[in-house]
Amino acid sequence: MPYVNKPRPYKKEYQQQKARKEGPARAARERARYEFDNPGKDGKVIKRKGKDIEHVKPLSKGGDSSLSNLRLESPSDNRSFYRNSDHTVKRNVSRKKK
């Protein structure tokens, strides 16, 4: 708990986020998680406890965080893709699915 006896520097944190250019992308990921965790107009709730939200088309390959590009997978399946030396996804096929 780093801010117990002092105010949190929100302005500084915002500037650091802006410098890292993570604002819009992070907001899109958070919005997608919110959509999965909260019921839509049909009242359907998707239980994602213990599961990862996977991008059908990876962000590194030009995908986005829209609901049509997201699905739930187990953590072991979602984190086991073949990767290039720069850690980007080689192909969008899980090692387990081949």
The DSSP secondary-structure symbol of 6 reads S
Distance CA 91, CA 76 (A): 17
pLDDT greater than 70 at residue 93: no
pLDDT at 98: 45
Contact between 72 and 51 (Cβ < 8 Å): yes
pLDDT in tens, 1-25: 566 788 888 888 888 877 877 667 7
Contacts of 78-83 spanning 24+ positions with Cβ under 8 A: 78/52, 78/54, 79/52
28's enclosing H/E stretch is helix 23-37
Listed by start position, the domains of the chain span 10-39+49-94
Distance CA 85, CA 19 (A): 26
pTM over 0.85: no
